Structure 1
Amino acid sequence: MNKGHILFIMADFQRPTLCCCRKVLTVPSKSCESGRGMGHCHRVDIASASNFHSFKLRHFHLDLRLNFAIKEMTGWQVLELVPVQPGVQTLVLDTHPSLLIHSIDCKVPGTAGAPDTSLSLTYRVDPFTDYGSSLNISLPAAVIRPHRAFQITIRYTTTDGPAIWWLDAELTCGQTRPLVFTQGHSVCNRSFFPCFDTPAVKSTYSATVRVPEGVTVLMSASHSAYSKRDRVFQFSMEFPVPAYLVALVAGDLQPADIGPRSRVWAEPCVLTCAVSKLGGSVERWLGVAEGLFGPYVWGRYDIVFLPPSFPIVAMENPCLTFIISSILESHEFLLIDVIHEIAHGWFGNAVTNATWEEMWLSEGLATYAQRRITTEAYGEAFTCLETVFRLDALHRQMRLLGDNNPVSKLQVKFEPGVNPSSLMNFFLRAYIEQFKFSSVVAQDLLEFFLGFFPELKESCVSQREGLEFERWLNGSAIATFDLTSWSTFQTVLFLDRLLDRSPLSHEVMTRLSCCYSALLDGMNAEVQIRWLQIVVRNSFYPDLPQVRSFLHKHTSRMYTVPLYEDLCSGGDEVFCGGGVLSDPGPFTPQPCVGPSSRSCTRPVLYLPGAPPPCCPHPPQPPPPATPLHLEALALRDVNVSA
C-alpha cells in the first residue's frame, strides 16, 4: 500500500469535539524536558482543578487499610514532587467532597547533618465542579525551590465516592463475601486519593494495603507481594501511569494461570468458566499484537472478572484488566472486549491522550488496533461483521441523540475503519516508541505522521482537497461522502436500504429530495423507481407529483406494480395527494399501458381496503376481469431483468 492510502487510514482517527464539562485552554508554559508530547505542555485540562503544570510528580505511595464493615479506606499518601516553575507557593490537587482530609505534612531536610523534620502545612478545600473539589496546600518558601524534590504526606479517609464501589456479599457472584473495587476513568480517582487527576500527568506509584483475613487484594501494578502474617499486600508500578489507571479490587478472588504471562482472577464460582473461555487465547492475541505494534511493555497481562454491578464492560488498567463477569455468556463479545483491552496496552496506556477532549487518541487507535488483531487472528470476514455491527449501533445512537449531543461527539471518533498496511505498522511502531509512557495531543500525532512521511509534508498534503487534516481533527459529525462517483449498483443498494428503514424523518426526506428530486429526470429508471417508492412510503407530498409523471412515462409492470401497491397501502392522503391520481377515472391505467400491465395493476387498485377515488364522481365498477391473486410484492421481487 502506498503512502497516499495511509492518508485515508489516518482520516478514520478523528478528534472528539468538546464535551460539555471539559475544555482545553492554552496557558503559558515552558517546553517539555523530554521533548516528547510537547503539544500538551502548553495546555491545561479544565477537567482538573490542579496546577499540574507547575510541578513534576516523580512518584507517589499509598498506605491504606480497608474496612468492609463501615465501607471506608483510611490511610495516607506520600507524594514526591519537583517544582518546575519559580515562585510557586501553592500546590493544588484534585479531590472530592467524599474524601476527608485529616492532615498534611511536609518533610523538611535537616541541615548540617541534623535529621529531617516534619512540618504541618495549612490547606483548604474549595468547590470545583459537581465531580470534584480542589485541595489547596500552602507550601513553605524555605523548602520549595525550583527543580529540588520534596515530599508531602496527606492523611485521609475515603467515604462514599464515585471511584469506590463497596458491594455487600449478596451483590457478588458467589454471595459469600463482600467485595470492593475502584473505577477511576475518567475523572473519578480524585475520590480515591488526592492527585493530579488529568491524563497529562504520569508517574510511578507503590501501595501498601491492609485487609481482613480471607481477602485478596489486586492492583494495576507490575509487581506484588503478600505477607500472610500481617495480612498486608505490597504493590509497585515501575512504569509511569496517569491517575485514572490506578485501580484496586479486594474480595474473595482466586487465580488460575492461562498463559506464560497471563492469569485469570475471579470468585471461585466464576473461575472455571473464565479459564475455559480464555485458556490459551490471551497469549495468542498478545503475540499477534506484538507482531503488529511492537513489544508488550507491561510485563504481565492479567484479567480479573468482577460482579455484574461493574459499571462498564471492561477497563484497561495496566497489567490487570477489569472486566464484567456477565460477558462470559457471550464468547464473541468476550473475545472482542479482551482484545480491545489488550490493544490499550499500546494505545491508551503506553501512549495516552493528554486531555479528555482528545480521548480518541486512546480509544480510536485502540479500536483500530483491535480490528487489526482480529483480522490477523480470525480473518477479514469476522472483523467486517463486528465493524458493521458497531457502526450500525453508532448510527442508531446518532439518530436517537443527535449529532450535537456530547456523547455522540465522542463516540463518532471511536469507530475507525481498518485497512491493513505494512507502512501503517511501521508508523504505529515508531509512534509508540517515540511517545511511550508519555501523553500526547492530536498535534503531536499529526506532526509525527508528517515527519514519518516527509514527502507528504513537503507536498502540503494536509491542505489538499478531501484530505484536510483540520477538518478531520475538528469535525463533530459522521463524515460526509461524495456520492457522485457511485455506480448505479451502489446508489440502488443505498436506496434499497432507505426503503427498508422507512419511514424516515421529514428532515431527512427534505435533504434527500434536494439530492434526488432535483436531478430525477437525469437518473435511470432503477434509481427513479426506488426514490419514488421512498417518496410514497414516507408521504412526502412535495415530490408526489413526480410519481404521476413517472407512471405516465414508464408503463412496464416492473415499475408500475410497486408504485401502485405503495400508493394503495399509503391511505387516502397518499393515494390522492399532490394530484397523483386526480384525473377522472383514476383507477383506470393510462391507455398507453399495455394489457399485461393493466391486468397486474387492476387487482392492486381494487384490493380490499383500497382508498376511494379522488374525483367528485363515483367510480364505475370495474369491468369483469380474470381474477389474479397477487401476493405482497417487494421491489426486489419485481425489479428483475426480463
Structure 2
Amino acid sequence: MENPCLTFVTPTLLAGDRSLVTVVAHEIAHSWTGNLVTNSSWEHFWLNEGFTVFLERKIVGRLQGELERQFQSEFGFDESLKTAVKTFGDSHEFTKLIPDLRGIDPDDAFSSVPYEKGSAFLFTIEQLLGDPVRFEKFLRAYIDKYAFQSVTTDIWKHELYSFFPEKKEVIDKIDWDTWLFAPGLPTKPKYDSRLMEVCSALAAEWISAPENNLPVSSSLFESMSPMQKVTALGKIRTSGKFTIEKMAALTSSFNLEETKNCEVRFGWLMLGLEVKWVPIIPKALSFVLSVGRMKYCKPIYRSLFNWPEARTLAIQQFQSSRKNMHPITANIIAKMLT
C-alpha cells in the first residue's frame, strides 16, 4: 500500500529474481498520482490507479525497454481487464471507467477495471497524439498544477485540451463517452505483440497436443520472463480447450509445484481450478491460507466455492481463518457465500 514517500509491500513480491519489482514502481508512482493529485470521489478512481499503472509501465520501459512496456500493457488488457469484465458481465456498471456508485460500497466495485481500462485509455491517447515525450510533459504539468488537490475527469480532460491546442481535432475524435461511460471492454490499443506471440505459441502447443504426445521440452518456458510464464498459463486457462488429463504433465514439465514466484504459482493454481484437477484443491487452500492478498484470495476462493468437490473444505477454512485476514478481504469473500 502506498503512502507519501513510504510504501508497505507484500512479501509475495520477494520472488528471488526481482521479477515483481513493478509493484514497487507502482506504489512509488502513487506519491504523485493518487497522493499528490487525488481523485475527488470513488467514481473517478481511475485517475488514481489508471494513471499509476500507466506511469509504472513507463518506468518499466525505461528499465527494461519499450518492448517490455508494450508486453506488460497488453498483458494487463488481455489477462486482467478481460477477466474482470468476464467476472462482472460485460454490461455491468462496475466495468465502466466512471461507474455510478450511488448507494454502493466502493469495496464491492473494486477490480482491475480502473487500473487496466484507465491505463489502456491513456495508452490510446498517447498513440493518437503521436508524441510520447510531450505526453509525459503534459502529465508532469498536470500533476504540478493540481498538486495537493482533488480532481475529476472533466478537470483532467480540460487540461489535456489546454496543453495540446494544436491537437484539438485529434482529441475531438476520441470516443469519450464510450471510453468513460460505456460498460464492457473498450477497443484494444495497438501493442507491439512480439513478446506476447511467444506466449501464444507455447499455449497453442499445449492446447493442441494430443494427450499421448505432449511436448517434452521445457526450454521455451524456462527461457521466458515470469510475466510471460503467467501469460502463457493464462492463455491455456482461458482457451476452454485444455483438458484435465494434461494438467499433471504440464505441472511436472514446467516444475510448477516448486515455483517460488507467487504470480506464476497463482497462474498455475487458477489453471488447475479451471479444469477441476482434484490435486490442486489442497494446494490452493494452502496458498490462500499463507497469502492474504485480495488479488489472489478473491479469485481462488470464488473458484473453490463454485466447485462442489472443494466448496465444503473452502468454507471451513475460510470460516476458521477469517479472523486472521484483512477485514476488507474477509468481507468481500464472505459476500460470495450469501
Structure (1 or 2) with the larger CA radius of gyration: 1
User: Which structure has the higher relative contact order (CA within 8 Å, separation 6+)?
Assistant: 2
- Report the structure, 1 or 2, having the larger strand content: 1
Q: Which has the higher helix share?
A: 2
TM superposition score normalised by structure 2: 0.45
Q: Structure 1 length as normaliser, TM-score?
A: 0.25
